[in-house]
Structure 1
């Protein structure tokens, strides 16, 4: 993982993505704090749409882009195709997200939202080109590569449908109603982009972090085909007929795929050589509990939807929260402090290895900020889920405050790591 050296420009683009994602996380926490009432209504409303896109694009996808620029050369054992393409992508991505979120917040579905959609779509195309050309350097194919490439294709389709929906607000050329396409758009993003990408990356990295030699990749192959088949069937049947009884079968096929992947992770954990698991790794592994919880809620959403019961809307909001704020956010919070300390360590100490005694990457972590962030986020999850289950505004308020503390401590920790100065005077010369 020595692709980010002392003078390597890859460090700047990766750290910039982490920093901007942290800012968006702060914005997301602030938005939640001042719009708790919106959580009690339908998910298709301005503030919910604004928060969802802040979470999906500004927080989740932004940090995934940065992490992938760092990890892709490691996973594929090659080099990143272009730093310039990475900078071009983020140059379009950041203003596009800001403008899109603002337009959703005030709900101005006109020219500015269209410009925002074009900016975001352009950024995603540039990112995908970088990934695809990087993969071309890879001499030997792997299942990890297939997951990553497929995830990028789904991201492109998700962004394209989103762009069409933005223009449809004004020109009304789509033949079905907006909610119909919103369901397809959301699940293309969740299952196609986030799930496929996270499986591809984590299936390679988690065994490395756990020091596990479990290598039965056939489980990942089964997961790949089941999840993609389920998503394709959902999109086709969902477009033609909407939500119906057949959707239960599609859900079961997707669950089967996820179970293959989770069993692979379990076997890696079970066969690990490193028995001690640190806090960032605990959070990463625990995040999949929320993925499982979100998936298990889906048949109940289907049931109430087919009965035309309004409770389906509340469950849908809870489902989205479990996915974005439980699974994806907790995974990011855990993996940030597995990957970023190493990136910073390589910048400051790789050239000193063998010359002076240097700290370990884990020594760069501020334990106080890490525990504060972890405790605050745990409180957020408990209060937020309980607030939904018991329709308690007080619990939701506690959750919003806890998320704000989480975001502040997370961002402060990013700053501490990125401002780290090389320290050798405290270490004895070899």
Structure 2
């Protein structure tokens, strides 16, 4: 990651995203604690909608946007197009996210919910324009660029469809039931935005962190076109006909694309020069395991849906939790302490390299807090997910408490990194 350069303006916007996202994570766990009983019901519940959107927007999307401003220039090997656009996007995103979550929590459809959705849509468009113009500065196109820009387009479409659904509460926009479009909205966000963006960035950073000799992109190319094909197939078929036995074909195509990505990661792991895998990377690999478990639930969801079996709701609830609170959360919990310490290290020590003995990026966070955070998150995974499926409140309470502990440990460690003071150990 030597391509990162010291830039005070860019540093401030990136760190602000990390800090606000960490606060959203803690707020998310508080809302979960206040609505434990809602997890035993239907996923189309006001409190569940508020929690889901806080997880997707305040926790997942916000930190991805912030990290993207620093990491996308590294992946694309160019400078960010505009810091002003980044600040403007953030300034619109934050009130839009807060307004939308509050509107869902109290479930008051109307002008406040609609304005919040429009703020989020404008912010997403500005973010996408910034990423696109950043990519235009690079002459040679890469598969990572295809992943990243496709993900940004999907973010815009996801938010646009979400905004339409918000307006549909008070005016007739769609002739069909909102739940029909909610499936499209959710998967456009999960697969189109999160999966494509995370594959695009991680396929560059993970080999870098592992110091891998593997440089092939053929598997990534196959992964990109298979996942895009599956997503388009699903959106068109599900919109026109709803879930059917054809949905299994979509699942197989998308699963093949995901398998190509996992094989790519395996090849990077096998050819790594750095044999020891640190705890942040172990958190990242845990996220891929949780993603696999979530994907394996999809055939059951399709089957029970076609049989009109009420078990569809339980499986769908656990699937969403595995995706948002399992895969995405675990990946963020791990990669934060690979990316943020390096970003802070560049600010404090890049100009001192070769002159003084300096700490390593891994010295900037508290290792004992990261270990405790990992243990707490594992407890959350083995209690909350089964608790929601079996609708057993003691397990759900245990899981939410563990996740709140995770959030507290995480935010403390993020603060330690952000407020780090420059120190040296003498001249070389």
Query: What range describes the TM-score normalised by the shorter chain of this pair?
Result: over 0.9
Following the alignment from structure 1 to structure 2, what is the Cα–Cα distance between the partners of residues 160 and 68? 21
The residue number in structure 1 matching 2:190 is: 190
The residue number in structure 2 matching 1:398 is: 398
Following the alignment from structure 2 to structure 1, what is the Cα–Cα distance between the partners of residues 134 and 5? 19
The residue number in structure 1 matching 2:134 is: 134
**Paired residues of 1:213 and 1:272 also in contact (CA < 8 A):** yes
Following the alignment from structure 1 to structure 2, what is the Cα–Cα distance between the partners of residues 156 and 5? 29
Number of residue equivalences: 428
State the SS of the aligned residue for 2:55. Answer: helix
The residue number in structure 1 matching 2:353 is: 353
The residue number in structure 1 matching 2:178 is: 178
State the SS of the aligned residue for 1:243. Answer: coil
Following superposition of structure 1 onto structure 2, how do residues 340-379 of structure 1 map, counting pairs within 5 Å?
340-379=340-379
Following superposition of structure 1 onto structure 2, how do residues 90-105 of structure 1 map, counting pairs within 5 Å?
90-105=90-105
State the SS of the aligned residue for 1:350. Answer: helix
The residue number in structure 1 matching 2:153 is: 153
Deviation at 1:175, TM superposition (A): 1.7
For the pair 1:285 / 2:289, whether they are aligned, the reply is: no
What's the C-alpha RMSD, in Å, of the aligned pairs? 1.0
Report Cα offsets for 1:97-156 as digits up to 9, x if no partner: 000000000101111000000010011011111101000001111000000011111111
Report Cα offsets for 1:268-299 as digits up to 9, x if no partner: 11111110000000111121011111111011
Following the alignment from structure 1 to structure 2, what is the Cα–Cα distance between the partners of residues 352 and 108? 54
5+ long unaligned stretches in structure 2: none
**Paired residues of 1:77 and 1:138 also in contact (CA < 8 A):** yes
Report Cα offsets for 1:32-82 as digits up to 9, x if no partner: 111010011110110110000000000000000000001011101100000
Following the alignment from structure 2 to structure 1, what is the Cα–Cα distance between the partners of residues 5 and 413? 22
**Paired residues of 1:154 and 1:192 also in contact (CA < 8 A):** yes
Deviation at 1:3, TM superposition (A): 6.2
The 3 A distance-change label for structure 1 pair 122 and 3 is: farther
Following superposition of structure 1 onto structure 2, how do residues 245-256 of structure 1 map, counting pairs within 5 Å?
245-256=245-256
5+ long unaligned stretches in structure 1: none
The residue number in structure 1 matching 2:410 is: 410
Deviation at 1:2, TM superposition (A): 5.4
Deviation at 1:7, TM superposition (A): 5.2
For the pair 1:58 / 2:58, whether they are aligned, the reply is: yes
For the pair 1:10 / 2:10, whether they are aligned, the reply is: yes
**Paired residues of 2:314 and 2:389 also in contact (CA < 8 A):** no
The residue number in structure 2 matching 1:263 is: 263
Report Cα offsets for 1:206-258 as digits up to 9, x if no partner: 00000112122111111111111111111111011101111111111111110
The 3 A distance-change label for structure 1 pair 3 and 13 is: farther
TM-score by length of 1: 0.98
Following the alignment from structure 1 to structure 2, what is the Cα–Cα distance between the partners of residues 173 and 160? 13
TM-score by length of 2: 0.98
Following superposition of structure 1 onto structure 2, how do residues 295-314 of structure 1 map, counting pairs within 5 Å?
295-314=295-314
The 3 A distance-change label for structure 1 pair 278 and 77 is: same
